Chains A and B, each alone.
Chain A
Amino acid sequence: MKTMKTTIGRGSLRRSLFFCVGFITLTLVAVACTKEKSEEENTLNLVISSNVKGLDPIDVSDVYSSRVTSQIFEGLLSYHYLKRPLEIIPQLAASMPTVSADGLVHTFKLKKGVKFQDDPCFPEGKGREITSNDFVYSWRRLADPRNRSEGFWVFDGHIKGLNEWRTAVGEGKADYSTPIEGLQTPDSETLIIKLTHPYFQLHYVLAMVVTAVVPKEAVEKYDKEILNHPVGTGPFRLESWVRNNKIVLVKNPSWTGQTYPTEGEPDDRAQGLLEDAGKPLPFADKVVMTELVEDQPRWLNFLKGNFDYAGIPKDNFDQAISGGALSEELKQKGMRLHVAQYPDLTYVAFNMEDPVLGKNKTLRKALSMATNTQISIEKFYNNRAIPAHSPVPPGIDGYDKDFVNPYQKYDLVKAKELMKEAGFPEGKGLPEFTFETTNSATARQVAEYFKQEMAALGVQIRIGVNTWPEFTTKVKEKRAQIWGIAWNADYPDSQNFYQLLYGKNVSPGPNGSNYVNKEFDELYEKALRLPMGQERTAIYKKMRAIVVEEAPWIFGVHRLGYVPSFHWLKNFKPHPIINDDVKYYRVDTKEKAKLKAKL
């Protein structure tokens, strides 16, 4: 291209260029000088790794919403903060309920003087005392089909008359005044629950936030908007919520009477977890919960001290942990490490209705022996997981640390022999299988690894990447062949894991494998009628033997949580089940100011 000769006129152009550069520099300088917000007194800064949907307890179905609602709402029961194995304690109940000899009638007395948080929905904005009727009302909401609560399964089929009422409401033949036989309130402090059959998990589900108490006034005033106007009895109440950004909770002044526990595990005293024993709760005046979905900003913000604790994203593990302890770099920053055993299980499920996979248990065993759990643990869990030999994780009744599942072992030679035995030597004659997975980066890598392992056995795997809804739909419509999944316990009871293989729970129920075995089902039903204890554990042992032999799953791992926190966060002990533990946390503001200055 030819250039045109110009002699004059550069001056003005140069000046405007200067102006531009000047403008940009100014902006940058201004930014560099923005004021640090003054360190607020006694505020907890927590981070939530997903977006919170709503704050109506009956709608809580994910840990993120539960993390917030559990600070605002309370149920009849809860768990002891420090004790392990986990122990159920009364929360809004004055004491543990009396239970009839046949286990069918549970009578609760309510704690006196518990009030709802102040809210404009009450006369003069003053929260009133709770009554036993409030519980019946709250649970009707849970059962009301129009509310389509995911949490209804906790009562489904267990309480006399509740399912009938649910159906009648759905058909427009009943309303909230229609009595329910199984939920009775002789007076405002007494609540009687009548069951259709012994339900030994009842006390656990009453500690879940879906069964928390909600005032009728709030539901009537806010109607569908109640999910943005939570009114509970808990230690904190909602101050503000910028959706998808942050939730600010403040201390509920009308919440009194609870104190920090005085007992715990033997090690807790040494860990400094009992220094506040007997002191009134909650310690924090304000809790800021930031919603941040991406790993990178979450972790970087934590390193800058903007959050009090954080889970470690898989790939930042090396930076955080060296040889099982906190790395020097993070120690220097003033952090310490907490290890929590989560009651969960990962597994690779086979669809037992698949014409090839479902009919050939030798083939399934071969695939199981070709998976190297040890490598998965190194790659994806950074050695912070233990191989799973049975459905039940550590910390749950009936877990047997000495039990060895022979097909959990990695043995490629044996696996190849089994392939021959199954009629597919070197994988000949087998169709290509599809392994379904979700679309996160980690899930993708896990799937890739499974494919590599199967290729060594001569089994061809195609990886199907799905969004979470597509994934669940495929499993629930029995369209998936092989898939990897994890199960987190709803409550610490091995029944919660064995139900995943119960014949009546097949898809769309939680038994995604569609595994049906008559003997297993009979044993399961027998165990249901028994309380936790040796007799039941003996039955579960028989069921375990069946599952191991039939191999409807490839057992994966039980995970451990590694959570670093800053020294200024006191009384922090990750709890495997509950989420209402924020009231126990205390910020040492002096220490925080000191440590943060160095970050």
Chain B
Amino acid sequence: MPILFGITLLTFTLFNVAGGDPAVQFAGKNASAVQIEQIRHELGLDRPLYQQYFFYLKQIVSLDFGRSWSSRQQISTLIVDGVGASLSVSVPPFFISVALCIVLAMFSAFFRGRLFDRSIMVGCLGLMSISYLVYIMVFQYLLGYKMGLFPISGWDASWVDRWPYLILPWICIVVVSLGANVLLYRAVFMEEIFQDYVRTAKAKGLNTRIIYLKHILKNAMIPIITVVVIQMPYLYTGSLLVENFFGIPGIGGLLVQALANADFPVIKAMVFIGSVLYMVFSLLSDLLYALVDPRVQLK
């Protein structure tokens, strides 16, 4: 709760005290001073700051964020409509990436120090050294346009017709997240490999394959799952770059627009939802951790 308070205060100060004057913005190019004053009044910007803050708190409590200043669309509708698109772009590659990375990381740890491990490591570090923007632009140009493997961009409201458009964005996201994840998981595996129980199992003459697949994998999954859960709330904003380049009507694009238009109500709503998700998932991650590891005590 105090954190929620902090978040509301932070977003309110940042976006109400800073930024341009939205009334001027929404009055348009031919507006007169009188019209701007009227708009300021309609938006409630002429009220004292503490009243505006309480109004914001009230909106949060009632979960009614009002309408966007810029497009005048209902913010809840904007977000609900966008979340589906964002999630269908961000969730599948997230899990594909997690699965792929676990496999790669395990192999890497298994062959540690060998050529395979080293090339995986250097490859991952290499992947991590190129900007996201470059991947998107180059993949779209080469795979989409030059080679014609995928549609250049696009979207469909129906789930069935949607997926051809999604593959290329997915590939971009998987490639971008691959490097860091493999390295992280590999470190987790490395830690497990040298645990006493592995030594014991080996001493007992257990098959290496079984040790890897049953014991090490199982134990390594604990830290991996906690990390994965912590990353989940970020999925809701999708990926702003991917969405803009591939014409996907998600939250990321909405956010860019809101920032560009000084659309405070939208920004405030999104920050708030993002923060709440973040807190929920942190709690979930703690719970999970406690569940699998009885040594951890919850406060």
How far is A150 from B107 in the complex, measured between Cα atoms in Å? 62
How far is A301 from B154 in the complex, measured between Cα atoms in Å? 10
Q: Is the CB of B107 within 8 A of A246?
A: no
Contact of B38 among A9, A11, A170, A304 (CB under 8 A): A170
Segment 156-206 of B: residues with Cβ below 8 Å from A? 157, 164, 167, 193
Pick out which of these stretches binds chain B: A26-34, A172-180, A428-436: A26-34
- Check A151 for interface membership: any CB of B closer than 8 A: yes
Contact of B73 among A28, A53, A146, A240 (CB under 8 A): A53
**Residues of chain A with a CB closer than 8 A to B19's CB:** 469-470
Q: Is the CB of A292 within 8 A of B42?
A: no
| Chain B interface mostly | helix
Pick out which of these stretches binds chain B: A265-273, A377-385, A471-479: A471-479
List the B residue with the shortest CB-CB distance to A475.
Answer: B24
How far is A4 from B141 in the complex, measured between Cα atoms in Å? 44
- Check B295 for interface membership: any CB of A closer than 8 A: no
Q: Is the CB of B152 within 8 A of A509?
A: no
- Check A59 for interface membership: any CB of B closer than 8 A: yes
**Residues of chain A with a CB closer than 8 A to B245's CB:** 294, 296-297
- Check A245 for interface membership: any CB of B closer than 8 A: yes
B interface residues, tally (CB under 8 Å) = 74
- Check B262 for interface membership: any CB of A closer than 8 A: yes
Q: Is the CB of A3 within 8 A of B253?
A: no
Segment 74-108 of B: residues with Cβ below 8 Å from A? 74, 78, 81-82, 85, 100, 103, 106-107
- Check A291 for interface membership: any CB of B closer than 8 A: yes
- Check B131 for interface membership: any CB of A closer than 8 A: no
- Check B25 for interface membership: any CB of A closer than 8 A: yes
Contact of A224 among B67, B155, B212 (CB under 8 A): B67
List the A residue with the shortest CB-CB distance to B260.
Answer: A467
List the A residue with the shortest CB-CB distance to B30.
Answer: A153
Q: Is the CB of B207 within 8 A of A8?
A: yes
How far is A12 from B257 in the complex, measured between Cα atoms in Å? 49
- Known: A54-B71, A245-B155, A477-B21. Contact between A293 and B253, CB under 8 A? yes
Minimum C-beta distance from A556 to chain B (A): 17
- Known: A227-B72, A469-B261. Contact between A294 and B36, CB under 8 A? no
**Residues of chain B with a CB closer than 8 A to A294's CB:** 244-245, 247
List the B residue with the shortest CB-CB distance to A599.
Answer: B148
**Residues of chain B with a CB closer than 8 A to A300's CB:** 140-141, 144-145, 152
How far is A349 from B202 in the complex, measured between Cα atoms in Å? 79
Minimum C-beta distance from B91 to chain A (A): 16
List the B residue with the shortest CB-CB distance to A61.
Answer: B28
Q: Is the CB of A9 within 8 A of B153?
A: no
- Check A100 for interface membership: any CB of B closer than 8 A: no
List the A residue with the shortest CB-CB distance to B103.
Answer: A20
Question: Which 3 A-B pairs rank lowest in CB-CB distance, beginning with the nearest?
Answer: A9-B209, A150-B28, A473-B20
Residues of B within 8 A of A (CB): 19-22, 24-33, 35-36, 38-39, 42-43, 67, 70-74, 78, 81-82, 85, 100, 103, 106-107, 110-114, 137, 140-141, 144-145, 148-150, 152-155, 157, 164, 167, 193, 207-210, 212-213, 244-249, 253-254, 257, 259-262
In addition to A224-B74, A245-B247, A468-B260, 16 A-B residue pairs with Cβ atoms within 8 Å of each other are A9-B209, A9-B212, A11-B209, A17-B103, A51-B253, A53-B72, A54-B71, A59-B72, A61-B28, A227-B71, A227-B72, A240-B157, A242-B157, A243-B249, A306-B152, A508-B27
